[in-house]
Amino acid sequence: MHTLVRLLPLALVCLGAVPSFAQNAAARPIETIFARHQAESTVTVDHSMWDKLLKTYLKPAEDGLNRIDYKQFKAEAHKPLKDYVRRLEAVDVGQLGRAEQFAFWANLYNARTIDIVLDHYPVKSIKDINLGGGFFATFTGGPWKAKVVTVNGQSLSLDEIEHTIMRGIFKDYRVHFAVNCASVGCPNLAGTALTGARLDELLHQGGRAFVNSSRGVKLTDGQVHVSKIFSWFQADFGGSDTGVLDHIRRYASPELKARLAGVSRIDDTFYDWSLNDVRR
């Protein structure tokens, strides 16, 4: 979403690179700082720890939602998760190719999001966690505005990773199938770490799983209801109802595609901010 070239230890990826990359970073826009990539790079990031944690604590449910066993995760593996996040913070992301960068940012966003939830668990919603980050964050809640990671010497918020870097630099609507905000209404957290080698495959799987679930699209009494993600980020999905529906049809099952035939208007939107916790 190609054979992986593992560089161990991961710190070798960033050796000696942070000072030059971060020089004068405070005076430059984030999208400029992280626009650099190496088109011919064969460097890959070791996400094996994240992959192991996902395979252990992510629990696919019968309704198609990938839930997280936050209680067991916190009790057994919070430290390894924090270690993984620290290792990602040590990567010189500018030495990676574009697909590997995309996977890096998505995995960092998702891992740090779960880390933040575990720091405050138990909670009913990620919006109950307010880390500050400005006037707006005081009213909306959530951890998205606060500076929570440092990459190449640059302090970043989750919003800056998702919107400024991933949406701004990559300009790929599939970002919304890659990052997960720890909520029931969000596209699934993938059950495996994203990698540059499998990026397209895994993003396609994520798009299909979301669109064909009741969290993505609902057709009731002739009306089309879609996730608020398609309205919040309509500009990424064609900028109109027609554009959104065209994107949905790319991932729709034959049955859903048939039911959407001739549809050109979205009637309503929905979203569930409940924590994607396992049910006990």
DSSP notation for 135-185 = HHHHHH-SSTTSEEEEETTEEEEHHIIIIIIIIIII--GGGGGT---SBTT
Sequence letter at residue 100: E
Q: Classify residue 162: in a domain, yes or no.
A: yes
Which 8-state DSSP code applies to residue 27? Answer: G
Measured between its terminal Cα atoms, the distance across the chain in Å is 33
Can you give the residue range of the structural domain that contains 107? 10-198
Question: Does any domain span residue 64?
Answer: yes
Give the number of domains in the chain.
1
The verdict on residue 210 lying in a domain is no
pLDDT at 222 over 70: yes
159 in any annotated domain: yes
- Does residue 100 sit within a domain? yes
Question: What does pLDDT average to over the chain?
Answer: 91
pTM: 0.89
Q: pLDDT tens digits for 46-102?
A: 999 999 999 999 999 998 999 999 999 999 999 999 999 999 999 999 999 999 999
